[in-house]
Amino acid sequence: MATKAAFKRLTREYQNIQKNPPPFIIAHPSETNILEWHYVLTGPPGTPYENGQYWGTLMFPPEYPFAPPAIRMHTPSGRFQPSTRLCLSISDFHPKSFNPAWEVSTILIGLLSFMTSEEMTTGSVSASESERRVLAARSRWWNSTGGGSHSSATPGVTKTTKGINNVKAGDGGLKFRTEWPELDQENWAWMKEHRIDTSTGQILPDPNAPTKCSPETSALRRRPNGSAPGIGAVMEGGHVAREAGQSWARRNRLWIGLAVLFGYALLSRLVSDVQG
């Protein structure tokens, strides 16, 4: 349970972050526990995380702001291990380095800055830029479906909003939906619009899409035949002849080179005999 000082401080910070949310960051405390905060980072432009939706939690100690929170990111990002405590100067790994003047917005700005860097720490992972872009594109799907588990039960996983510190694929998106109902609705509308298979996160084929190329594309792929009789044949014939000539020269370039050298030697000898 939060102390009076922690409750008062976090209540004020929630009001501040509502009025002036930092760029690419939204956050709020849980309705049942003011020490449990949920945040969503939007991947900034120009990064491998662009437009990604990264959901995580801050678990504050009762003595906040004199001790830092535990920081986790649940959404797979290619930067952090999902639902793993992160070792940062602003997290509970380094309580002595935490400044009581730092607020929730300060912590999340620091997290976003660290995310877009390549510095490694406990809880971080290595991944290629392309892998991180794929995960960014699948982040909305993962958040709202629990990694595709919304449509079928996962053995050994009980769907519950408790145990928020260990959010894994398998809860059917229940925890995300509980904390972010509006974002969840937006995500489902986005998946429908983009024909996302909610079980796999892959794009479904469009049954209304034409199976053949457009006439314009087909025309560009055809050889030019011309409008008058014989024009296509002349162009085709010239093209074939040119290719045939080039292929014969390539096949016989060794003999051609020897013939040139022999001719040059013979010509040099004849000139020498004439001068002698």
**Distances 220 to 32, 169, 214, 223, 226 between C-alpha atoms, Å:** 63, 47, 10, 8, 13
CB 74 within 8 A of CB 55: yes
Cα–Cα dist 67/62, whole Å? 8
Rama region for 229: left / alpha / beta (φ>0; ψ in -120 to 50; rest): beta
Let me know if 87 is a catalytic residue: yes
Cα–Cα dist 202/187, whole Å? 14
The catalytic residue among 67, 87, 127, 137 is 87
Q: Could you please report the per-residue DSSP string of the chain?
A: ---HHHHHHHHHHHHHHHHSPPTTEEEEE-SS-TTEEEEEEEPPTTSTTTT-EEEEEEE--TTTTSSPPEEEE-S--SSB-TT-----TTSTT-GGG--TT--HHHHHHHHHHHHTS----TTB----HHHHHHHHHHHHHHHHHTTTTTSSPPTT----S--GGG--TTSTTHHHHHH-HHHHHHHHHHHHHTTB-TTT-PBPP-TTS-SS--HHHHHHHSPP--SSTTHHHHHHHHHHHHHHHHHHHHHTHHHHHHHHHHHHHHHHHHHHHHH-
Residues with catalytic function? 87
